[in-house]
Structure 1
């Protein structure tokens, strides 16, 4: 190794390894009477949220939750998510995050892979009907059902029950179902659990990894609490106990789990929760609550600008960070004109809890995802020879060291070994560090498609396409999309003697994929590109689409 290749030292920083559940205890102690959550007009303070989490933790322990018990959260952003997340950790269990938009097939696969035995869901039909079918097939020992109406302000809850009853699921009586109200009806405190922060797994966070096959990153209590400490150390000065964070990014996604929920808990901020993206409701909430911190993805900032108009004043926002996908210079500057504050960018992945870099508040550099967080070392390595560090300024694979880096992939030692080199995590992304230690991402090794901040795995789309009786070969790639950054496009060939139209294939896929994964278009071809050994090849199709974009 030569001096030029050595990674740059970062500011001295030592994270305190601690059980993740203690973050909520600290919030209750320091900010007990301060607002904690606003959910569509109903509020809770930090003391109330902590008390509910304690009661839920005691209820979980009564159900048998202990160290290593996998408890799933299949919830939108509601007070229940915050309460149950910390209840599971305080009971000693492991949180398994589920996307409520997943299909029944996708949820079932994750349940079996993770060993989830208890699922927490909402009594909204769109979500619960999938959980109910899996419960009927014996996949869960228990299903804890939370009431949407009970979380709303009293009048809204009554109106919801009266006029939106069709949106509510009918919950069967008896096992395996248990109402949230029953769960919290027992002891006020859980039995203490001895947590080893460095080794005990707090969260199984699913990611596609470098192969496109979803795997569970094992995030320890130390990983999660360290990353919160790192984000706080790298953030602008905060008025602890008085900030208000817009919580529209879904908490089941690792970005929001850390940068919104856990970060908000750590500074005693009020979390303004939205169960789904509805622009009318969002703009009303922004006007009513005047959030001071706005984490988001590029499409969210674009949507807010479109809804607000150029003359709107959002100068009460003093800190916002964009992640999940690159934000355009035009998009950042447009939002900055509304908010009068800089849009800072960050970079991370599920395997790093997730934040690796963030733009320093005093040094925005367009096109960069910022500098490494305190305590983090970013190395650029030769993708073909990862044992070799690249000189400063040269492109290579981004590799990461730090207290936020996962323990490994659950039940996948071979996959774990592949993503570590000399103790550093290989991200699968290509980038470089400039002379000031700013990281620039220039390409992706992975085939992931980034749709509005969500990871879409081409293999999932391809496998769904293969279930169509007429599809012979399938390739899914990402194509540029003005709103979402990227969108999936599917190329297929048909089996001899069969017929199908793109519209028919799209209709078929809608029953096999969630909304984010649905291709923007389907193109039927006579043949698809293949490598010399006969494998289907994506790169030719990617080049074709890039050429089309360049001409338009």
Structure 2
């Protein structure tokens, strides 16, 4: 989000001396890779990944082996494991998407009040005789160890027996429906709401989109019929966190206030 704002404001020549930039905190769209290379005259954009509890970097693309769309390889002192969401003690093979666990000197010792009455639950899982920090994020790794972020575990919803990825829907729609020139920040978000005892998928957007338009794009991209938006909610602006990410809690609160979800 922040890099996007910088690139939009850059004048010809402003970034001519810039060779490498590193981004994290949220998924980087292909458009930003292309814009950065164009405005810097061939500069390289490297994407990484981390969480606050891990000081905060876990993995990073290095300029010598950067792979667009991935979050790179774990830092040298960091160990990772990808395990089944349903069976957390079962490691997954390369190419399979699962829950990311982390060990290393960068991992914190626990939350204040952890395990006490009313305190936070332990974020650690026991695997192969060791305690691992559970990130709550889903990733997959190739045979070289480069990881691809697949979304937060809570950003998946089960419909018709299938796990539906809300970030995947957002990524597909985001490639087709972009912010108008001069507008910064995200312009759409998908969330699952409970309405009349049913789970429905709702698109929140600042764009003049119709439900039929959005669903047609999801079908064209090959997503199953379960990836079906029930309604579209137009907003003047999406609520954002301080990091620039969409504030989904506020979106749900807005839906609740208007009697359209919880």
Relative to the length of structure 1, the TM-score reads: 0.30
Counterpart Cα distance in 2 of 1:318 and 1:433: 27
Question: Structure 1 residues 514 and 333, CA, compared in 2 at 3 Å: closer, same or farther?
Answer: closer
* Deviation per residue, 1:228-278 (Å, 9 max, x gap): xxxxxxxxxxxxxxxxxxxxxxxxxxxxxxxxxxxxxxxxxxxxxxxxxxx
- Aligned residue for 1:336, secondary structure, equals helix
Matches within 5 A, 1:72-471: 299-309=1-11, 311-339=12-40, 340-413=42-115, 415-422=120-127, 423-447=131-155
Structure 1 position 386, deviation (Å): 0.8
Deviation sequence 1:168-207 (CA, Å, 0-9, x none): xxxxxxxxxxxxxxxxxxxxxxxxxxxxxxxxxxxxxxxx
Task: Detail structure 1 runs of 4+ shifted over 6 Å in the superposition.
Answer: 488-493, 513-516
Q: Number of paired residues?
A: 185
Does structure 1 retain, via aligned residues, the 8 Å contact 2:193–2:252?
no
Structure 1 residue 328: deviation in Å? 0.9
Q: CA deviation at 1:318?
A: 3.2
Quick one: distance in 1 between partners of 2:71 and 2:99? 15
Write the deviation string for residues 293-331 of structure 1: whole angstroms up to 9, x where unpaired: xxxxxx22221221124x334132233101110111121
Distance 1:514-1:426 versus aligned 2 partners, 3 A rule: closer
Distance across 1 between alignment mates of 2:192 and 2:98: 29
Q: Which has the higher strand share?
A: 2
Q: What's the secondary structure of 1:413's corresponding residue? A: coil
CA RMSD in angstroms comes to: 3.6
- Higher RCO, 1 vs 2 (CA within 8 Å, ≥6 residues apart): 1
> For residues 139 and 85 of structure 2, what CA distance do their matches in structure 1 show?
11
Q: 1:391 to 1:301 in 2, by over 3 A?
A: same
Q: Is the 8 A contact 2:123 2:133 kept in 1?
A: no
Bigger helix fraction:
1
**Superposition deviation, residue 515 in structure 1:** 11
Structure 1 residues 316 and 515: alpha-carbon distance in aligned structure 2, compared to 1, 3 A threshold: closer
Give yes or no for contact 1:488–1:521 (8 Å, CA) kept in 2.
no
| 2:163 equivalent in structure 1 | none
Closer, same or farther in 2 for the Cα pair 1:366/1:514, shift >3 Å? closer
Higher CA-based Rg:
1
In the other structure, the counterpart of 1:130 is: none
- Which stretches in structure 2 are left out of the alignment for 5+ residues? 157-165, 196-234
CA distance in 1, matches of 2:254, 2:83: 37
SS at match of 1:446: helix
Evaluate the alpha carbon distance shift between residue 521 and residue 333 of structure 1 in structure 2; reply closer, same or farther with a 3 A threshold.
farther
Q: Tell me the TM-score normalized by structure 2.
A: 0.59
Unaligned runs of 5+ in 1: 1-298, 449-476, 494-505, 529-535, 537-552
